[in-house]
Amino acid sequence: MKSAMMNNDSEPPSCLRPPIFMIGQDSRGNWVVRDKCGTRGGLFVDRAEALRYIRFESADNALVTVAGCLELDMSAPAVIAPTLNLSAPSERRVA
């Protein structure tokens, strides 16, 4: 049986690493923030609000400033959280 322990040279799973955010301006002058994976981000009216969003989303505040245009890509498939099926009858046990 293989050991489930990771060796020290391996990289931790992405869910354990803090997100890295990119910050910059798009072609219209809006401030854009998006994470490296493209799963979080937004458009902001100024840099201060963009930085506030990064502070809210990540305790580590890991960010990369992009010198050129940074566009917010909304074409990536959405990650949909599982929903509750409220139409199915629920089962209750009473002691």
| pLDDT one-digit tens code per residue, 17-37 | 678 899 999 999 999 999 888
For the chain, the structural domain boundaries read 21-69
Answer whether residue 90 shows pLDDT above 70: no
Answer whether residue 92 shows pLDDT above 80: no
**Between 56 and 80, where is the model more confident?**
56
- The average pLDDT across 53-80 equals 81
Q: Are 73 and 32 in contact (CB under 8 A)?
A: no
Q: What is the pLDDT of residues 32-52, one digit of tens each?
A: 999 888 888 999 999 999 999
- The closest of 14, 21, 54 to 36, measured between CA atoms, is 21
CA atoms within 13 A on the CB side of 59: 1
DSSP code of 26?
Answer: -
